[in-house]
Amino acid sequence: LSSKWLSASNSCHRPQLPAAHLADAMSLMRAIRLAPQAQRSLASSTRLFASPALARPVESEARKAPVMTNISEVGLGAPLGKRNAGVSVLGCAIAMVAVGGCAQGIGQLFAALVVGMARNPSMKEDLFTYTLIGMGFLEFLAIVVILIAGLLLYSE
């Protein structure tokens, strides 16, 4: 609506819009403004039912075979390719904290070897054997943690 129809000044030269038409125009403008919100609320209300098992088959013109379509392409029903990549990086980083724990364990193991050799030098060979066995366990744990972190990083 232009300002000439809604202007109260110069009412004798410009025709005024009747009150009924003004109310209809205002409700039309409000409906146009709220239409995207109504569409958004419809998508969020069907988000829980957006699984491939609940998708409706659609007939294809070329093959006449049923093709599955998603009910919703937003929110939780979005395809896995559109998932945020930061989630897998965050999971990988949390798993890699355990590698720091393995490094700390190896440091404590060799510190205990030095203290044990200082207290009883005659047990040097036995203490070193036990230290190498413990280091092998800690290295195995570190390798398993790195493999799990890689699975978390590159999984979908």
How many Cα neighbours within 13 Å face the side chain of 62? Answer: 1
pTM of the model: 0.46
Segment 6-38, tens digit of pLDDT: 555 555 555 566 667 777 777 777 777 776 665
Local structure of residue 70 (DSSP, 8 states):
-
Residue positions counted in the chain:
156
**Range in 12-21, 103-112, 131-140 with the lowest mean pLDDT:** 12-21
Which residues share a beta bridge with 68? 57
